[in-house]
Amino acid sequence: MTKIEIINNIANHYNLDNRSVSIVRNTPELCLYTDHKDDHCGVGRYFKEEYKTTTFNGNGEAINSLAIEQSGKGELDFYLISEAQGYPLDFWEDIQNFHDRVEFWNLEGLSNKGKIYKQNLLEKYKE
């Protein structure tokens, strides 16, 4: 799976209602790798099955914390399916930012701001 395929997959899958976020009163949205509806966030979508649970200890942690905690080297591959391994942490941070920003989504999918951000990502990661 290429970076471009991952970006397009995220853009085509999500909308404002299925982004696996938790809104706690008076706080911003908190991204969850897996939520109570079994939806997954941008990175959690590519987790191995054993980490796609609401009981996963790292659920809601920043991805750079997960990467350092597991590998000490800032890699996420330990958590990812084999098809999504081998990409640097900054790519996954961009994917997570794409997923997390509420202004990038509407009920149908990508908002105009989201479409612009997607195009920027496609340009940044073109091969």
Q: Which domain holds residue 49?
A: 3-124
CA atoms within 13 A on the CB side of 48: 9
* Residue whose tokens read 């897996």: 34
Q: List % helix, strand, coil for the chain (3-state, nearest 5).
A: 45, 10, 45
For the stretch 61-96, pLDDT in tens is 665 566 666 655 667 888 899 999 999 989 988 998
Domain total of the chain: 1
Closest CA to 48 of 9, 87, 82: 82
Whether the CB-CB separation of 40 and 124 falls below 8 Å is answered with: no
The pTM is what? 0.79
What does the pLDDT look like over 1-52, one tens digit per residue? Answer: 999 999 999 999 877 776 655 555 444 455 655 656 656 677 888 988 887 7
